[in-house]
Amino acid sequence: MRVKKKITWLSIFIPSCFKSENPSDSTPLPKKPKTTKTKKAVSEKSSLLERLYYQSDLSTSSTTLSEDLSNSLPGSNLHVFTLAELRVITHNFSSYNLLGKGGFGPVFKGFIDHKLRPSALKPQPVAIKLLDLDGLQGHREWLTEVIFLGQLRHPHLVKLIGYCCEDEHRLLVYEYMPRGSLENQLFRRYSVSLPWSTRMKIALGAAKGLGFLHEAKKPVIYRDFKASNVLLDSDFTAKLSDFGLAKDGPEGDETHVSTRVMGTRGYAAPEYIMTGHLTTASDVYSFGIVLLELLTGRRAADKSQPRREQNLAGWARPRLKDLRKLRRIMDPRLEGQYSEIGAQKAAALAYQCLSHKPKRRPTMSIVVKTLEALKDLDDILGGTFVYIVPNTDQSDCMHRKHVKVGEERKELKKENGCHHHRKHQMNLLRIEANFAGWLLVCSMVLEILGGKLVCSVCCMLFIRLRKSDVVCYY
């Protein structure tokens, strides 16, 4: 867990780079900043980065850009790839290797083999994001991603391995995350439902990533926390990706950063949407939304739901504090298999994160602590419904209707004898009932045909069966 030293100068320079995002700032971009002799070294870097931010765009010479970046990010270990290399790695960006597509552009899987950079790069799978030149994002998002992820390293942030800028092409090369995004895992129709403990592990991992950004020496506001930006490793370790919208937090006496409102519908904090004032509490709100998604299995904004349920926060928040209501909004795909205490605590946490007053929201370190405490709760409710057929002879064996899965197994072991007997009897009853059913149908047919004798025999046979036994099976 570390922030590279460079975060300090990153934070010194980046705020000015984003001035153009301020809605009140429509003045032309300033030229080179004034420098003083005492800060000569800093100023050199400053002018370099400011030039990148203010003056670079897709038409900037890629050689200049790469040089400026590697001078500005020494020690970042970012590799500069050529487009030809990335073509080889992805089989010419073959559609077979397409992992998905977002606002930046398509994402392809690739494999760096031992021949590519034998001494510098170990063989590994990678994910390569290619800027869609007709899309809404562009050079600035690419640059922000390179600068932030080039310097921030943490087990819960996705690792940027390198980048490519050639002509107008802009690409990013990341470590490959085998389980894709949380969005895919949680909402994909035909995927296996994520178990409760995995959901809590993901929430905790993502909270740690966000906490790391907020508690860095110079805090970073992530601004785009959402299920599709939480990527999952093979063991469901969560890592934050997409730093294209990230911003340095307020400095000194400032309470917020003013920006153009950007982000994703359903996740952005209400005060940020209303005022453009951005704080770390805006990220906490978005975290609360993702926590709600994990609890309910519903999307932050879902047009397929009835109108009043389309906005997840509006629908779910009033139901988070009442246990009965909470049970009703829990993800049905969990099939009741979750820790009830854990769910209550997670729901109370989501409630706080979604407070309309930013100051009432917890900090991410409190969120992390709260979630840490839920990890080991083992009061997982049994989802299996066991119905035992009432039988007067074996009344001592039948004292339970709902049994927790674990207890049920023990119970069954203890009662092995009576269980087998009961099972045998059930089978006999089932056969008898089936047989009676068929006779009844036959007798009705025969009665129609005038066979009154057969009809009465059938009825007698049917009456012989105890009503309750038959009802148990039909």
Ligand X SMILES: Nc1ncnc2c1ncn2[C@@H]1O[C@H](COP(=O)(O)OP(=O)(O)OP(=O)(O)O)[C@@H](O)[C@H]1O
Residues with catalytic annotation?
224
Sign of CA dihedral 70, 175, 262, 355: negative
Scan residues 69-108 and list those touching Mg ion (CB under 5 A). Answer: 102
**How far is the C-alpha of 245 from the C-alpha of 175, rounded, in Å?**
20
With CB under 5 A as the contact rule, the residue among 229, 259, 280, 391 that binds Mg ion is 229
Scan residues 106-125 and list those touching ligand X (CB under 6 A). Answer: 107
Element housing 2 (H / E):
strand 2-3
**How far is the C-alpha of 147 from the C-alpha of 6, rounded, in Å?**
10
The minimum distance between CB 246 and Mg ion, in angstroms, equals: 12
Helix 196-214 to helix 340-353 angle (10° resolution) is 30
Element housing 467 (H / E):
helix 467-473
Q: Which two tokens stand for residue 363?
A: 């900090």
Which of the listed partners (Mg ion, ligand X, none) does 151 bind, with a CB threshold of 5 to 8 Å by partner kind?
none
The minimum distance between CB 229 and Mg ion, in angstroms, equals: 4
Binding string, residues 242-281; x marks residues near Mg ion by CB under 5 A: x---------------------------------------
The minimum distance between CB 353 and ligand X, in angstroms, equals: 21
Of 83-91, 130-138, 234-242, 265-273: span binding Mg ion (CB under 5 A): 234-242
Element housing 161 (H / E):
strand 160-166
Of 170-178, 279-287, 350-358, 403-411: span binding ligand X (CB under 6 A): 170-178
- Concatenated DSSP letters of 76-102: S--EE--HHHHHHHTTTT-GGGEEEE-
Q: How far is CA 346 from the centre of its chain?
A: 15
- Looking at the Cβ atoms of 80 and 99, the one nearer to ligand X is 99
With CB under 6 A as the contact rule, the residue among 85, 145, 242, 248 that binds ligand X is 242
| DSSP-assigned letter for residue 394 | G
The minimum distance between CB 264 and ligand X, in angstroms, equals: 6
Binding string, residues 196-235; x marks residues near ligand X by CB under 6 A: --------------------------------xx-x----
Which of the listed partners (ligand X, Mg ion, none) does 107 bind, with a CB threshold of 5 to 8 Å by partner kind?
ligand X
Q: Which two tokens stand for residue 473?
A: 């099976």
- Looking at the Cβ atoms of 184 and 352, the one nearer to Mg ion is 184
Q: Does 241 bind ligand X (CB under 6 A)?
A: yes
With CB under 6 A as the contact rule, the residue among 3, 65, 127, 458 that binds ligand X is 127
- Concatenated DSSP letters of 208-259: HHHHHHHTSSS-EE-----GGGEEE-TT--EEE---TT-EEPP-TT---EE-
Contacts of 438 (CB under 8 A, 6+ apart): none
Residue 8, sorted as left (phi over 0), alpha (psi -120 to 50) or beta, turns out to be alpha
Which of the listed partners (Mg ion, ligand X, none) does 172 bind, with a CB threshold of 5 to 8 Å by partner kind?
none
Cβ contact 378:403 at 8 Å: no
Binding string, residues 59-98; x marks residues near ligand X by CB under 6 A: ----------------------------------------
Which of the listed partners (Mg ion, ligand X, none) does 184 bind, with a CB threshold of 5 to 8 Å by partner kind?
ligand X
**How far is the C-alpha of 12 from the C-alpha of 24, rounded, in Å?**
21
Length of the chain: 474
Of 101-109, 290-298, 311-319, 356-364: span binding ligand X (CB under 6 A): 101-109
Q: Which two tokens stand for residue 358?
A: 């930013």
Which of the listed partners (ligand X, Mg ion, none) does 269 bind, with a CB threshold of 5 to 8 Å by partner kind?
none
With CB under 6 A as the contact rule, the residue among 46, 181, 280, 391 that binds ligand X is 181
**How far is the C-alpha of 190 from the C-alpha of 3, rounded, in Å?**
39
The minimum distance between CB 274 and ligand X, in angstroms, equals: 22
Which of the listed partners (ligand X, Mg ion, none) does 180 bind, with a CB threshold of 5 to 8 Å by partner kind?
ligand X
- Looking at the Cβ atoms of 158 and 207, the one nearer to ligand X is 158
Sign of CA dihedral 270, 272, 277, 283: positive
The minimum distance between CB 135 and ligand X, in angstroms, equals: 9
Q: Does 103 bind ligand X (CB under 6 A)?
A: yes
Contacts of 251 (CB under 8 A, 6+ apart): 11, 15, 218
Cβ contact 194:159 at 8 Å: no
Distance between first and last Cα of the chain: 60
Of 38-46, 103-111, 205-213, 270-278: span binding ligand X (CB under 6 A): 103-111
The minimum distance between CB 105 and ligand X, in angstroms, equals: 7
- Concatenated DSSP letters of 397-421: G---SS--HHHHHHHHHHTHHHHHH
The minimum distance between CB 313 and ligand X, in angstroms, equals: 19
**Contact footprint for ligand X (CB under 6 A):** 99-104, 107, 127, 129, 158, 174, 176-177, 180-181, 184, 228-229, 231, 241-242, 264
Contacting positions for Mg ion (CB under 5 A): 102, 228-229, 242
